[in-house]
Amino acid sequence: MAIQRTFSIIKPDATRRNLTGAINAKIEAAGLRIVAQKRIHMTPAQAGQFYAVHKERPFYGELCEFMASAPVVVQVLEGENAIAKYREVMGATDPAAADAGTIRKEFALSKGENSVHGSDAPETAAEEIAYFFAGIELVG
């Protein structure tokens, strides 16, 4: 498997509880390198565009409001098989179903307020990285 990049968000429930460092420690312990990172506060419209794929889902409004409710940390992670590896490190969407030791098992509050986002495929990773980062910010 080649070196890949994936896109990550440390969500408002986690930044509010001062968990950025604890989450980054798990990311780095898994062998993923944080090659770009910044703290931003999205507007509901920016969150809505990011999660546009979920527009028809009943939780879309709540999700956009939540993502704009406090600052988030957006990141680019790099490593061997990074997309699948980060999803493993995150754990299942619903923390009640997440494996022991995963970020969501340890830190998530609910299915909605679940501490982190990670891309689900190479195409979405590339799109999500380009939405938040300029090429000049990706220094490896």
Question: Is 93 labelled as part of a ligand binding site?
Answer: yes
In the three-class reduction of DSSP (H, G, I as helix; E, B as strand; rest coil), residue 58 is classed as coil
- Cα-Cα-Cα-Cα torsion 34, 31, 50, 109, nearest 10 degrees, comes to -110
The residues, ordered by sequence, that sit 6+ positions from 15 with a Cβ below 8 Å of its Cβ are 39, 70, 71, 72, 73
68, 83, 117, 125: the active-site residue: 117
Q: Which of 27, 36, 42, 63 binds ligand ATP (CB under 6 A)?
A: 63
Task: Assess whether 117 carries a catalytic annotation.
Answer: yes
The residue assigned the tokens 């590339």 is 126
The window from 14-22, 28-36, 109-117, 131-139 that contacts ligand ATP (CB under 6 A) reads: 109-117
* DSSP-based helix, strand, coil % in the chain, nearest 5: 45, 20, 35
The stretch among 16-24, 68-76, 117-125, 132-140 that binds ligand ATP (CB under 6 A) is: 117-125
- Positions in the binding site for ligand ATP (CB under 6 A): 54, 59, 63, 93, 111-112, 114, 117-118, 120
User: Would you list which residues are annotated within the binding site for ATP?
Assistant: 11, 59, 87, 93, 104, 114
Known catalytic residues?
A: 117
